[in-house]
């Protein structure tokens, strides 16, 4: 079975209304988000049904889509509450639901039979037979497990006709596509019901190794320069492999990060927008300029890995010395407007920022430019030399018009 190649959709995370709008403005074709119930990101600022409806209306006004996660592994009480929630999502006019649990799937088929359903990555779909089975159950799309190689994805594509989606960027779970019991065991918070504490990122002190049938006999475990972060995976980055993914027939390229910042979402979406467009225009001569990698390094991230795409991950796919993120730039403000007559740009502060320091603007069209704050005024029109207060409103002189929703950032100075 062969597929007609299609330009893949760029699918971005939306942890709240602002992040959703920024993702769409910076180039995403669609966003995925979670409601207050039944999603696997309980600690994100998830959406009420009213907010989901508002987000869907905004996306549709741009000709774009909204998908909602309903991907917990449901218990009896969850199923009892599910029908009303599904009807609410249908009324909100969302474009599809992401589901992993077969009981949730069956309930959705009965309650909202016309709603497009996508199979969540939590369903651990790793072979073409499973994709075929989901297709027979009416799936419009299957989000493949992150544990697949490019060759495996290509074979699945050849033997199926349903839409295929895969992750291309973001955090990797140490457990199989997120099916992890560690958080529930250590804290009582069930990662499979949306309350993961990311216990895999904690530092563990492991000095003795024992075997159950040999009580009292232990082997010393020595901590070396790698430390003890033994389950701390690097972040996925497949920007170099877009031609292979497109040739494999993948229709949607997904960015992880509903709990990440506005800066993360806008920057990563902006880079992958350029990458997808350039790759689709000339797949044979596609290459990744250093400027794109530089941009991806500006946001909070762990070191990057290709995950399972090229080869099975080895010890080099882990970060052993720390669970901390790294980034080259801090997000310090967002452009809220521009007055052409007064030649002033208006900002909302997101980090302490001062007049005169070298800054950079990232704009929704993907361009960047250096910028220095001068003639700063607060909302009352009083001259100031810094904006130290959280989300403080201020303005600054700018001869060049600045696009609304542009991001202001500052290079991190390492001590």
Mean pLDDT by runs of 10 across the 415 residues of the chain is: 83 95 98 82 73 98 97 88 96 97 96 97 94 97 94 96 96 67 60 59 55 62 48 85 96 93 96 98 97 94 84 64 74 97 97 96 95 97 96 97 96 78
Q: Which two tokens stand for residue 411?
A: 């290079």
Q: Are strands 407-411 and 358-362 parallel, antiparallel or unpaired?
A: antiparallel
Give the integer Cα–Cα distance in Å for 283 and 288: 12
Report CA 223 to chain centroid distance, whole Å.
33
What is 329-411's CATH superfamily?
Answer: Translation factors (2.40.30.10)
Adjacent-strand bridge partners of 333: 349, 408
Contact by Cβ (8 Å): 123, 40: no
pLDDT score of 302: 80
- The pLDDT of residue 225 is 45
pLDDT at 45: 64
Lookup: tokens for 393: 């409103």
Q: Using H for helix, E for strand and C for coil, what is the string for the chain?
A: CCCCCCCCEEEEECCCHHHHHHHHHCCCCEEEEEECCCCCCCCCCCECHHHHHHHHHHHHHCCCEEEEECCCCCCHHHHHHHHHHHHHHHHCCCCEEEECCHHHHHHHHHHCCCCCEEECHHHCCCCHHHHHHHHHCCCCEEECCCCCCHHHHHHHHHCCCCEEEEEEEECCCCCHHHCCCHHHHHHCCCHHHCCCCCHHHCCCCCCEEECCCCCCCEEECCCCCCCCCCCCECEEECHHHHHHHHHCCCCEEEECCCCCCHHHHHHHHHHHHHHHHHHHHCHHHCCCCHHHHHHHHHCCECCEECCCCCCCCCHHHECCCCCCCECCEEEEEEEEEEECCCCEEEEEECCCEECCCEEEEECCCCCEEEEECCCCEECCCCECCEECCCCCEEEEECCCCCCCCCEEEEECCCC
Give the fold, CATH level 3, of 9-175+232-313: TIM Barrel (3.20.20)
- pLDDT given for residue 226 in this prediction: 42
Instruction: Give the model's pLDDT for residue 184.
Output: 58
Domain positions in the chain are 9-175+232-313, 178-220, 329-411
pLDDT for 175 equals 64
CB atoms within 10 A of CB 222: 6
- Structure tokens of 99? 């589901």
Rounded Cα–Cα distance for residues 126 and 308 (Å) = 12
Structure tokens at 252: 């949607």
Query: Are both 9-175+232-313 and 329-411 of the same fold?
Result: no
How would you label 278-293 residue by residue, b for 16+ Cβ within 10 Å and e otherwise? Answer: bbbeeeeebebeeebe
Task: List phi, psi (to 5°) of 21.
Answer: -65, -40
């Amino acid at each position: 079975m062969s597929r007609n190649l299609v330009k893949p959709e760029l699918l971005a995370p939306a942890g709240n209304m602002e992040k959703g709008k920024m993702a769409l403005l910076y180039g995403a074709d669609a966003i995925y988000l979670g409601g207050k119930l039944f999603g696997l990101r309980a600690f994100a600022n998830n959406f009420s049904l009213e907010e989901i409806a508002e987000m869907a209306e905004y996306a549709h006004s741009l000709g774009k889509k909204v998908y909602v996660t309903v991907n917990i592994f449901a218990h009896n009480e969850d199923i009892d509450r599910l029908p009303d929630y599904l009807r609410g999502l249908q009324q909100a006019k969302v474009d599809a639901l992401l589901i992993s649990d077969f009981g949730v799937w069956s309930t959705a088929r009965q309650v909202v039979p016309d709603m497009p359903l996508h199979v969540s990555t939590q369903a651990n779909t790793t072979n073409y037979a499973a994709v075929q089975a989901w297709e027979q159950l009416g799936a419009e799309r299957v989000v493949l497990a992150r544990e697949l190689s490019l060759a495996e994805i290509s074979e699945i594509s050849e033997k199926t006709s349903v839409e295929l989606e895969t992750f291309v960027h973001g955090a990797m779970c140490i457990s199989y596509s997120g099916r992890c019991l560690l958080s529930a065991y250590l804290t009582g918070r069930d990662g499979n019901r949306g309350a993961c504490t990311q216990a895999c990122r904690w530092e563990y002190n492991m000095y003795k190794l024992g075997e159950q049938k040999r009580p009292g006999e232990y082997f010393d475990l020595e901590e070396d320069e790698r430390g003890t972060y033994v389950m701390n995976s690097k972040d996925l980055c497949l920007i170099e492999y877009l031609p292979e993914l497109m040739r494999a027939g993948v229709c949607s390229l997904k960015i992880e990060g509903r709990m990440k910042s506005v800066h993360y979402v806008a920057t990563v979406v902006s880079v992958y927008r350029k990458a997808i467009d350039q790759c689709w225009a000339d797949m044979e001569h596609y290459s990744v300029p250093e400027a794109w990698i530089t941009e991806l390094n500006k946001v909070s991230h762990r070191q990057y890995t290709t995950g399972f795409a090229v080869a099975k991950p080895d010890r080099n796919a882990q970060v052993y010395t720390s669970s901390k993120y790294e980034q080259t730039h801090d997000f310090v403000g967002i452009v809220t407007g521009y007055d052409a007559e007064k030649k002033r740009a208006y900002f909302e502060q997101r980090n302490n920022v001062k007049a005169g320091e070298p800054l950079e603007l990232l704009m929704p069209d993907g361009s960047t430019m250096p910028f220095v704050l001068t003639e700063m005024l607060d909302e009352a029109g009083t001259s100031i030399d810094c904006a130290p207060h959280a989300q403080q409103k201020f303005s600054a002189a700018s001869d060049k018009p600045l696009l609304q929703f542009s991001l202001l950032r500052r290079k991190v100075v390492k001590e």
